Structure 1
Amino acid sequence: MLLVAPGFDDATVELAVPLSRLLYLSTFFLGISSVFGGILQSFKRFTLYSIAPLLYNIGIIGGTLVAGYSSDNVMWVAWGVVLGALLHLMLQMVGAVHSGWRPRWGMAFKDADVRAMFGLMGPRVLGLAITQINLIVMTAIASVLSIGSVSIFHFANNIQYVPVGVIGVAFAIAVFPHLSDAANDNNQKVMARSVSQTTRSILFLIIPITVVMLLLRTQIVRVVLGAGVFGWNETIIAATMLGYFALSLFAQSLTPLYVRVFFANKNTVIPTLIALLTAFVNVAFALWWTPKFGVTGIAMAFSLSACVQCVLLWIALRVYVASLDELRLLRMLVTSVGAALVAGLMIQAVKELYGTFIPLRTFLAVVGQIFVAGGAGMTAYLVTAWAFKSEEYEWFVAAIRRKLFCKYAAVESGDEALDMTV
């Protein structure tokens, strides 16, 4: 614990050690659950895969509620995490069995596919380890800063990761089976089209969310975290960090997709090497910037390294994909950025107008400002995209129609429209 968080005092370490031991159980359950999650993805059963994290959060919420009635409240929260991880595992295991998977006991090390799996697994395990070590180093750096820096860093990071998980990771998981099929068939045209369409779909959704998060970051932090001992000073620091995190939302959302292109082509080495390089960039700039900017420097370094990783992956992708339709992507960026500027002006105007007429002294008043200003901005974004005849807007509307009316709404764009709600 002293290695992970050297800035913790003795009392904090004494509390953190038993918590860490207990939380290792959740790591064990989630590790096994990830195997069943992979099985569900291979069967294209994305609904159960998406529900599993909800059960995980339900367990955490349950533990938190019980903690409110117990003197040993922190340990109950940890038990809630363990319960949520167990529910996560049970749901995916039942789903895998229901899909037709059956366990077969044996030592198939001579099987060619098994040997290939172990060959691919090594770099992938190293890549995941790099990600976790990077997070540990960031936590260690935050722990030697002002009191509360670790909590502020993790709170801001958790908030900014929501759109990354909901959009970037979700799209990457959904398109991965199609990428694998294209790679197995050695069909570069299909792979290029899938990567291009998914990239544009992710950016179409993440760009306006970035604008919302930048302009309403203080309100978002205040609503999510502004209670108890989390005071106004902590809110300002977390909001500043959230703003820097938001600058790299596009890169964080595209990285899971680009990494899976390499996985589909049975290459886990290149993403691992790039992850290692960007981890060094992250740590180096965090050590450079935190003495000047405090804990905010961690968010700045994180966003810089995320952008570097995304750019390097994009460059490396050209080995497998001859063309990513860059001209079409550029046209989409011009349209979406223009629409985002209109949305930003709308958000700022409505935010100021709302604050003029409604005092922001209560929780509901701040929530109302987020929904009214954010809703006005998103509406302005979609209307502007429609006026620009954005192809991605048509995909988005078609996907909504399919989900709401259970019909296939064709988009005559010359390409298969990607379901933007997977």
Structure 2
Amino acid sequence: MSLIRNTLVQSSLTLVSRALGFLRDVLLAARIGAGPIGDAWATALMFPNLFRRIFAEGAFASAFVPTYARTLEAEGEEAAAKVASEAMRVLFAITAGLTILAQLAMPWLLLLVHGGQADDRENFELAILLTRITMPYLTCMSIAALLSGVLNSAGRFLLSAAAPTLLNICLIASAFVSVSPVVTAQAASVATLIAGLLQMLLLAWGVRRQKVNLSLIGWPRITPGVRRVFALAIPGTIAASGTQINIIVSQSLASFEVGAKSWLYYADRLYQLPLGLVGVAVGVAILPALSRAARAADIDRSRATMDEGIGLALALTFPAAAALLAAPVFLIEGFFARGAFELIDAEYSALALFHYAWGVPAFVLIKVFAPAYFAHEDTKTPMAYALTSVAINTVLGAGLFFWLSSVGRPGFPGLAIATSVAAWVNAILLFGGMLRKGWYRPGAKLLSRLLRSLIASGLMAGALLFLLQHVDTIRAITIDSRIFVTMLVILLGMAIYAVAAILTGAIRLGEIKGLVRRRAVE
């Protein structure tokens, strides 16, 4: 399968998952709102989201795949399955132990991430309860990640991309338990745990279908193979999770401002869309190709793969960032402003979304650059860069948050600013590291394509601003529904960008025709 096709498989199913995710958030926002109960739910969901993005969206798998693939090629299927089984047992033991410790220490753990609302005992206790329910998701996602790595190494991306839809389906069902906001939040937490179990079972079935026999039965042992896997996986997971760690830091600081966690959460839901659809998809798709090129010392193929990955990623990311910058209030209001989530909540959330938006290209580039290091089995360098970005985010975020609060302004937009600055620092460090190591030099065609993408995105942003001036007219001649008009404007923006991108050459028709021909043949 080509990079474009692998990315298409990953992105298409991620799009389905994210569409269901929007539906779940629309329903849960209307039921729970953005007050202290909403903050408690955002805290409980923070950990599953972190684990899903670290494990299910490729960070752990990106570190596991090169070792598994190397063993598969050098020693055969049986040896690779043995390494994977041994790693799975150790991973299960570690994550199950961490889950148990977290359950016991949850009141103190939440003082770190939700301490700003510790004086509100009722809602703080609710946050403790909800997070205890969702915490076992860690173990489910860690096992699911390893199973995804096995499937991806075999060129199978379908199930690993489809599995996250189960979380959204379960949470959508929980939104209909609407006795009260508290009961809805409790039902959603239980649904999260059920979804984790279902995702793990689905991927286990997929691995079994590939005739790869893995087993959790047996004592966990630190064998040489396991040691090799975790020597890469631990720093690799940290390296690929810098953005998510920064979000945790921001959420912890946001707890000192009631409602801020919820506002940041719904802004996060929108800006994470291009990261999941594009950055994660391209990163997962290019890793096997980069790993093969690295083992063959084929610098030309490695550079060509990176050029294609970066060009494709940014051609799809620039318009998303431009749209988020041009219409943050319109988008948040259209998707989430109903029921308990009021218009003022949408305006506050849009403040955060605007500052996340200019960081979107950096968030995506991190996902595209990091696999170059993983392919060379260098996970410590990107880990150091990720930790540097975390330090910058923590210091800058805390400084901006408390400074803005001291002058009578909302402090939470400072957290979004710090997250985007930290992401750009991380992306620049990763790119500079590739240049120094001689792994990559961008080609002239790539630079030309990026310029064309920027021009097409600028044209689309101008068109969006024009459409926003005529929203009332659009509503009058179509359907008087906020979410319908929002979707219509988005579709119009996408169509405008597609035309502009083709005219400028940012997206090449030859790629699309080639993809269609390959699909027809197969």
TM-score for both structures, normalised by structure 2:
0.72
- Residue by residue over 1:208-266, the C-alpha shift from the partner in whole angstroms, topping out at 9 and shown as x without a partner, is 12222222322221132212222222111111211111111111111112111111100
Which residue identity is paired with 2:460? A
Instruction: Summarize the Cα distance change of 1:165–1:126 in structure 2 as closer, same or farther, 3 Å threshold.
Output: closer
**Residue 251 of structure 2: aligned partner:** 139
The answer to whether structure 1 residue 150 and structure 2 residue 261 are counterparts is yes
Bigger Cα displacement from structure 2, 288-297 vs 196-205: 288-297
Matched, 1:3 2:119: no
Q: Distance in 2 between matches of 1:213 and 1:182?
A: 36
* Number of equivalences: 403
1:290-315 deviation line (CA, Å, top 9, x unaligned)? 13251111111111111111111011
How far apart, in 2, do the equivalents of 1:369 and 1:236 lie? Answer: 18
Partners of 1:197 and 1:129 lie apart in 2 by 24
Structure 1 residues 339-381: Cα deviation after superposition (integer angstroms, max 9, x where no partner)? 1111122222223233245369x99533343333333332232
The code of the aligned residue for 1:4 comes to: V
Whether contact under 8 Å (1:346, 1:377) holds in the other structure is yes
Output the CA distance in 2 between the equivalents of 1:357 and 1:169.
35
Aligned residue in 2 for 1:269:
380
5+ residue gaps in structure 1?
409-422
Other-structure match for 2:236: 124
- Does the CA-based 8 Å contact 2:243-2:419 persist in structure 1? no
Report the aligned-residue RMSD: 2.6
Deviation at 1:128, TM superposition (A): 6.5
- State the shift of 1:26 in Å: 1.7
Once residues 52 and 272 of structure 1 are traced to their aligned partners in structure 2, the CA distance between those partners, rounded to angstroms, is 27
Matches of 1:346 and 1:316, distance apart in 2: 38
Higher relative contact order (Cα pairs below 8 Å, separated by 6+ residues): 2
Aligned match of 1:225: 336
Q: In the TM superposition, what is the alpha-carbon distance from 1:87 to its structure 2 partner?
A: 1.1
**In the alignment, does 2:352 pair up with 1:235?**
no
Mark the CA change 1:193 to 1:228 in structure 2 (over 3 Å): closer, same or farther: same
1:393 to 492, 508, 518: 508
- After TM superposition, list the pairs within 5 Å mapping 1:322-341 onto structure 2: 322-341=439-458
CA drift at 1:64? 2.4
User: Structure 1's 25 and 238: CA in aligned 2 closer, same or farther, altered over 3 A?
Assistant: same
Distance 2:355 2:293 in 1: 37
Aligned residues of 2:137 and 2:192 also touching (Cα < 8 A):
yes
Is the Cα contact below 8 Å between 1:211 and 1:344 reproduced in 2? yes
What residue identity is the alignment partner of 1:234? D
Q: 1:358 to 1:248 in 2, by over 3 A?
A: same
- The match for 1:411 is none
Residue aligning to 2:143: 32
The structure with more helix, counted as a fraction of residues: 2
Q: Rate the CA distance shift 1:302–1:236 in 2: closer, same or farther, 3 A.
A: same
Superposed counterparts of 1:289-300, under 5 Å: 289-290=400-401, 291-292=403-404, 294-300=411-417
Could you give the per-residue CA deviations for residues 93-131 of structure 1, whole angstroms, max 9, x where no partner exists? 1101111211265777554x4332232234235546766
Q: 2:240 touches 2:367 (CA, 8 Å); kept in 1? A: no
Q: Which runs of 5+ in 2 are unaligned?
A: 1-109, 405-409
Letter in 2 for 1:377: G
CA 347–71 in structure 1, closer or farther in 2 if over 3 Å, else same: closer
Q: Taking structure 1 as reference, are residues 126 and 338 closer, same or farther at Cα in structure 2, changes over 3 Å only?
A: closer
Separation in 2, partners of 1:26, 1:227: 29
Paired residues of 2:239 and 2:385 also in contact (CA < 8 A): no
SS at match of 1:2: helix
Q: So what's the TM-score if we normalise by structure 1?
A: 0.88
